[in-house]
Amino acid sequence: MEKPSTPTPRAEELSIGNPDRTQPGKHRGGTRLSGPTALAALAGVAAAAVVLSVAELIGAFFTARATPVIALGSTFIDFTPSWMKDFAIATFGTNDKLALFVGMAVTILALAGVLGIVAYRKWALGVAGVLLMGAVIVTSVVTRAGVQPLDAIPSLIGTAAGLMALRVLITMLRRTQQRPDPEPDHGVDPDLAAQDPHRPATSRRAFFAATGITAAASAVAATGGRLLSAARSNVAQARDSLQLPAPAKPAPAVPAGVQSSAPGVTPWLTPNNDFYRIDTALSVPEINVQDWELRIHGLVDREVRLTFQDLLDAKLIESHVSLTCVSNPVGGNLAGNAKWLGMPIREVLKMAGPRDGADMVLSTSIDGFSASTPLEVLQDDRDAMLAIGMNGEALPLEHGYPVRMVVPGLYGFVSATKWVVDLEVTRFADSKAYWTQRGWSERGPIKTMARVEVPKSFAKVPAGRVAIGGTAWAQTRGITKVEVQIDNGPWTEAVLSAEATVITWRQWSFDWEATPGPHYIKARATDGTGEVQTDQRADPVPDGASGWQSLMVTVE
Ligand SMILES: Nc1nc2c(c(=O)[nH]1)N[C@H]1C(S)=C(S)[C@@H](COP(=O)(O)O)O[C@H]1N2
Ligand SMILES: [Mo]
C-alpha cells in the first residue's frame, strides 16, 4: 500500500546521483521497501559483474598473470580454514575447485546484493563499498606470486566501470520511485491527472532493461576476456610440441596380466586425462621452459641452478609409479598409475652436496605450495625423480608442466610438488611445508590399501557367479596378498594380477557364488613385509585414511 511521502534525509541522499536535486520534496523513494530493496540488490549484482568482467577483459590485454577472479579465488583459498578445505576435498574430490567457485560466486552475489541496497539507501556508503571491493581485488591480485604492480590496472579500471554502472542503475531505480507532481493548478484533464501521480519518472521496465543489458554485456566481456587469455597463452602449444628425449634407463617391461580379470576394474595404467588432480592452484601455472629454473640450496656445499635444457641433457630414467593422495578416503579414487620420465633427484642432490645434519628437502612450486620430503628417501634407490614426462608425453599443464617431483612410496602432499622451482636442503626441525602448517603430518608414507571397484557399493547383481575386483597398493613394499570376506565368512584369498614393481599398484579379482539377498563384501591387503592392512579406521587427517573397505550389494 502506498503511504504518504515526506522528504527525508535519505531522499536528499537519493538526489546525489540524480539531476532532480532541486525537488527533493517530490521523492517517494524508500517508503515501500520490499520492491526497491530487491531491485537495489539486483543493481548491486549487475555492478559487481561489471567490476569483474571488465577487469577480466582488460586483464586479457595485459599478461593476465593473475586475473581478478583467479586472484580472488586464491585469496579465498588462503583464508579458507583448513577444516573446510579438507571437507571440500573429501566431499567434492577433484571437483573441489568447482565447489570453491560456486561458494565464491554465492558469497560475491550476496555481498554485491548488500552493496546495491547500501548504495540505494546511502550513495556515499555504496561508493565506499565499491572502493572496498576494488581494494580487496587489487590486493589479492598484487599479492599473488609473480605478479607486478601494473597487473593491478585491470582491477582498477574494472572498479571504476562498476562504480559507473552502479551509479546509473541506482539513479534509475530511484527515479522509478518518484512521481511527478499532479500539477493540479494547471487545470489538467482529470483523467490525465489521475494517471500522472502513478507514472514514475523512470519506468521499472527501463530499469530492468538497463540491468539486463549490463549483465549481458558483463557476460560477453568476461567470456571475451577468457577466450582472449586462452588464445594468448602459448605455453600449452609449447607443451604440445615438446620433444622428450629417450630415457638412458627405460622402464622395466610391464609383465602381461597386470590388469584385473574382473570386468570394470580401472585400467592398470591411468591415462593422463583420467589421472586425478589435487592441488591448491586455481589457475594452472603457465611456465615457459626457457624461464624455468630449479634452485637447489640450503644446507649444501654449493648452490646449484638447473635449467630445463640441463634436464633434457641429463641421463633420464623412466619408471611406472603409482601416486596417491593423503586425502583419499578408504575405497576412494585419488590415486593413479603412470609412466614417468625424469632425472633422479639423487643426482641433482649430488651436484649440490647436502651437508651433515640435513634430513629434509623442502620443495616449493612456482605458486607457493611446498612439501617436506625426507632427504634419504630422495637419495635411495627408489629413484625419486624430477619428472618431465608422463605416459610418453610432456607433463600435462595441470600435472606440473614443465617439471614436477615423483617420489615412490610417499603421499603427494609431502613429495609430489608440481611446477617445482626450488629445493631447499634443510631439517624437519627448521621448516614446515604447506599442509604441515595446516595440521597435516610432516611425513607421509603411503598406507597399505585394498580397494573394491566392482561391484559398486549398493549395486544390485544377479545371483550366480559375480566377479569382484579392484586395485591394491603399498608403494615400495608391494602387495603380496588380497583377501575378501563375504558377510561374516572366512577371509579368502583373491587372485592377484601380475605385479609390475613394488612402486606400482597391483590389481586383483575374486569369483563369488552369490546367493540372493543383501550381502557385505570386505577386502584387505597384505604388503611385502607380511603386514596385513590394519582394520583401525582413521580419517585422512593427518597422515592418511586406514581401515577395511566394506560395501553392501543386493543379489537378486
Ligand atoms: N604445486 C603443487 N604441487 C602439488 C600439490 C599442490 O597443491 N601444489 N598437491 C600435491 C598433492 S596433495 C598431491 S596428492 C599430488 C597430486 O598430483 P596430481 O594432481 O598430478 O595427481 O600433487 C602434489 N603436488
Ligand atoms: Mo594429496
Q: Which helix (H) or strand (E) holds 485?
A: strand 479-486
Assign residue 487 a region (left: φ > 0; alpha: ψ between -120 and 50; beta: otherwise): left
Ligand nearest to the CA of 276: 1
- Domain membership flag for residue 424: yes
Query: For 216-245, what is the mean pLDDT?
Result: 87
Higher-confidence residue of 247 and 149: namely 247
CB 550 within 8 A of CB 521: yes
552 pLDDT more than 90: yes
Residues 89 and 199 in one domain: yes
- Domain membership flag for residue 135: yes
Residue 346: per-residue pLDDT: 98
The pTM score is: 0.71
Distance 280 CA to ligand 1 centre (A): 8
Residues 466 and 504 in one domain: yes
Nearest CA to ligand 1 atom 1: 418
70 pLDDT more than 70: yes
Q: What does R_g of the chain's alpha carbons equal in angstroms? A: 31
Query: For 139-160, what is the mean pLDDT?
Result: 81
368 pLDDT more than 50: yes
Residue 58: per-residue pLDDT: 87
Residues 433 and 456 in one domain: no
Residue 416, ligand 1, Cβ within 6 A: yes
Q: What is the CATH number of the domain that holds 479?
A: 2.60.40.650
Residues 226 and 323 in one domain: no
Ligand nearest to the CA of 282: 1
CB 487 within 8 A of CB 519: yes
Distance 142 CA to ligand 2 centre (A): 28
Higher-confidence residue of 244 and 65: namely 244
Residue 417, ligand 1, Cβ within 6 A: yes
198 pLDDT more than 60: no
43 pLDDT more than 70: yes
Worst-scoring range by mean pLDDT, 33-42, 88-97, 174-183, 200-209?
Answer: 174-183
CB 1 within 8 A of CB 34: no
d(CA 325, CA 270): 15
Residues 393 and 290 in one domain: yes
Considering only CA atoms, which of 276, 306, 313, 331 is closest in space to residue 450? 331
Worst-scoring range by mean pLDDT, 23-37, 225-239, 475-489, 496-510?
Answer: 23-37
| Ligand 1 nearest-atom number relative to CA 420 | 1
Q: Which of 438, 461, 485 is the last residue of a domain?
A: 438
67 pLDDT more than 80: no
Residue 189: per-residue pLDDT: 43
Please, which residues bridge with residue 373 across strands? 361
CB 550 within 8 A of CB 484: no
d(CA 545, CA 329): 6
Burial class (CB within 10 angstroms; exposed 0-12, middle 13-18, buried 19+) of 546: middle
Residue 279, ligand 1, Cβ within 6 A: yes
255 pLDDT more than 70: yes
Q: How many residues does the chain have?
A: 556
Query: For 241-249, what is the mean pLDDT?
Result: 96
Distance 85 CA to ligand 1 centre (A): 14
Residue 418, ligand 1, Cβ within 6 A: yes
d(CA 502, CA 380): 15
Query: Confidence band (pLDDT; 50, 70, 90) for 146?
Result: low
User: Which distant-in-sequence residues (6+ apart) come within 8 Å of 436 by Cβ?
Assistant: 372, 414, 442
Q: What is the CATH number of the domain that holds 381?
A: 3.90.420.10
Residue 481, ligand 1, Cβ within 6 A: no
| Ligand 1 nearest-atom number relative to CA 419 | 1
Q: Which of 399, 418, 438 is the last residue of a domain?
A: 438
Residue-wise pLDDT for 396-412, tens only, equals 999 999 999 999 999 99
Residue 399, ligand 1, Cβ within 6 A: yes
- Best of 144, 279, 422, 434 to mutate for ligand 1, by most ligand atoms within 8 A of CB? 279
11 pLDDT more than 50: no
193 pLDDT more than 50: no
Residues 116 and 91 in one domain: yes
Distance 335 CA to ligand 2 centre (A): 9
CB 276 within 8 A of CB 334: yes
Residue 152: per-residue pLDDT: 84
Residue 376 sits in which domain range? 272-438
Residues 309 and 386 in one domain: yes
Residue 407: per-residue pLDDT: 98
Residue 281, ligand 1, Cβ within 6 A: yes
| Ligand 1 nearest-atom number relative to CA 280 | 7
Considering only CA atoms, which of 505, 325, 319 is closest in space to residue 412? 325
The one-letter amino acid at 48: A
Residue 19: per-residue pLDDT: 36
Residue 179: per-residue pLDDT: 61
The one-letter amino acid at 261: S
Query: Confidence band (pLDDT; 50, 70, 90) for 88?
Result: confident
Query: For 497-506, what is the mean pLDDT?
Result: 98
Residue 365, ligand 1, Cβ within 6 A: yes
Number of domains the chain contains: 3
C-alpha torsion angle, residues 194, 197, 201, 207 (rounded to 10): -90
5 pLDDT more than 50: no
Distance 277 CA to ligand 1 centre (A): 7
- Best of 82, 86, 278, 397 to mutate for ligand 1, by most ligand atoms within 8 A of CB? 278
Distance 411 CA to ligand 2 centre (A): 6
498 pLDDT more than 90: yes
Residue 398: per-residue pLDDT: 93
Residues 395 and 507 in one domain: no
Q: Which of 438, 463, 497 is the last residue of a domain?
A: 438
- Domain membership flag for residue 520: yes
- Domain membership flag for residue 244: no
Query: For 364-388, what is the mean pLDDT?
Result: 96
Query: For 450-455, what is the mean pLDDT?
Result: 98
372 pLDDT more than 60: yes
In this structure, the number of other CB atoms found within 10 A of the CB of residue 234 comes to 10
Residue 369, ligand 1, Cβ within 6 A: yes
Cell of 456: 559398486
Residue 207, ligand 1, Cβ within 6 A: no
- Best of 369, 390, 418, 420 to mutate for ligand 1, by most ligand atoms within 8 A of CB? 418
Distance 209 CA to ligand 1 centre (A): 46
Residue-wise pLDDT for 116-135, tens only, equals 999 999 999 999 999 998 89
> Which alpha helices (DSSP H) does 62-81 contain, by range?
68-79
181 pLDDT more than 70: no
Residues 293 and 425 in one domain: yes
Distances (CA, A) of 125 to 64, 107, 111, 116, 174: 31, 20, 14, 10, 16
Nearest CA to ligand 1 atom 24: 417
- Domain membership flag for residue 476: yes
Residue 378, ligand 1, Cβ within 6 A: no
What percent of the chain is predicted at pLDDT more than 70? 88
Residue 473: per-residue pLDDT: 98
Query: For 265-285, what is the mean pLDDT?
Result: 92
Higher-confidence residue of 223 and 363: namely 363
Letter string b/e over residues 346-369, b meaning 16 or more CB atoms within 10 A of that residue's CB: eebbeebebeeebbbbbbbbbbeb
Residue 335, ligand 1, Cβ within 6 A: no
Residues 432 and 454 in one domain: no
Residue 56: per-residue pLDDT: 86
Residues 489 and 425 in one domain: no
Residues 531 and 465 in one domain: yes
Distance 325 CA to ligand 1 centre (A): 8
Mean pLDDT across the chain, nearest whole number? 87
Query: Confidence band (pLDDT; 50, 70, 90) for 100?
Result: confident
Query: Confidence band (pLDDT; 50, 70, 90) for 188?
Result: very low
- Domain membership flag for residue 430: yes
Query: Confidence band (pLDDT; 50, 70, 90) for 534?
Result: very high
- Domain membership flag for residue 385: yes
- Domain membership flag for residue 170: yes
Worst-scoring range by mean pLDDT, 83-87, 167-171, 323-327, 535-539?
Answer: 83-87
Residue-wise pLDDT for 169-180, tens only, equals 999 999 888 765
Question: What's 294's DSSP letter?
Answer: E
Query: For 509-526, what is the mean pLDDT?
Result: 98
Residue 234: per-residue pLDDT: 83
